[in-house]
Amino acid sequence: MQPRLSLLTLGVADLAAAVAFYRDGLGWPTEGIVGTEFAHGAVAFFELEGGLGLALFPRESLAHDVGVPVGEPGASAVAFGHNVRSREEVDAVIEQARRAGGDVVKPPVETFWGGYAGYFRDLDGWLWEVAWNPARLPAA
């Protein structure tokens, strides 16, 4: 198996609200909700840099697709990283998430590893780290 992650799927409580958070609040482009003509098929896709995709899928539909009972998200055991090019951009993205309805869990601070980072939770409790890491700067 090649070491590759191509799609990250998040189970969400309210698909329309989750799409609004990422699309309208954070400014991520999407074609919106597709697949509504299928039972358990409604989903929204976001194309991220580097070829990674983000899918938002109702938790009930995700559980149905996998064949497991619907459960609470494991939000405290996972954090997604969003690296930016400056400390100022960390502050701006954290504020953008707050304005969009996200919960700022940890305001940005200097880190032990020489960077600057903070955390927010999206509407479903998924943790996002926004970081300026001089060793892992995104492409310009």
Q: Residue ranges per domain, the chain?
A: 7-66, 75-132
Q: Put the strands of the sheet holding 43-47 in their side by side order.
A: 7-12, 53-58, 43-47, 30-34
How confident is the prediction for the chain on average, in pLDDT? Answer: 90
pLDDT the model gives residue 86: 96
Distance, in Å, from the CA atom of 93 to the CA atom of 83, rounded to the nearest integer, reads 10
- Token pair, residue 42, equals 């409604």
DSSP result, 31-49: EEEE-TTSTT--EEEEEPG
Residues 9-31: tens digit of each pLDDT: 899 999 999 999 999 999 999 99
CATH label, 7-66, candidates 3.30.420.280, 3.40.430.10, 3.10.180.10, 3.20.130.10: 3.10.180.10
What does pTM read for this prediction? 0.83
